[in-house]
Amino acid sequence: MTKGKDAEALADQLHSAAIHLLRQLRREDDASGVSAPRLSALSVVVFGGPLTLGELARAEQVKPPTMTRIVTGLEKDGLVRRKGDTRDRRLTHIEATPKGHKVLSAGRARRVEKLASAVGQMKTRELAELRRGVQLVRDLVASMRGKPA
């Protein structure tokens, strides 16, 4: 097998494994009572906010009307609030509330606990391999962003 074909096959396997891992962990999000699109948007606001509605829509790769509906739902649930821009009154920034931070943190904790339970059953040698694999994936992500690891 050529290096290019080997890279393509490995990339396909990594893609599939990542999707299956995320699907398994996403099941833990049901306990939050917040839909997947809302949790995704909340995550962007918590880790990258405050953001304008347009910035949030671009980050989530949806149209502004869709993001307006998502933000309205998050706002009704008390997870985000809208705040006017002091320099440009036409702009509104979306920021997470303490409750929003708490919901997101609890969801992450549930996903990490589920994953840690599975990782904890691995042998010492497998753990070392996984640790190295995680670092390689981080390096790969950084190279795809054009940033050093």
pLDDT digits (tens, 9 = 90+) for 88-141: 888 889 999 999 999 999 999 999 999 999 999 999 999 999 999 999 999 999
Cβ–Cβ < 8 Å for 18, 76: no
- Residue 135 CA from chain centroid, whole number: 18
Round to whole Å and give the CA distance between 66 and 117. 36
Taking the domains of the chain in order of start, what are their residue ranges?
Answer: 12-145
Give the right CATH number for 12-145 from 1.10.10.10, 1.10.600.10, 3.40.33.10, 2.40.50.180: 1.10.10.10
Laid out side by side, the sheet with 80-84 consists of: 51-52, 92-96, 80-84
Is residue 56 packed enough to be buried (19+ CB in 10 Å), middle (13-18) or exposed (0-12)?
buried
pLDDT digits (tens, 9 = 90+) for 16-50: 999 999 888 888 888 888 988 999 999 999 999 89
Tokens of 119: 């990782």
Cβ–Cβ < 8 Å for 99, 120: no
The model's pTM is 0.77
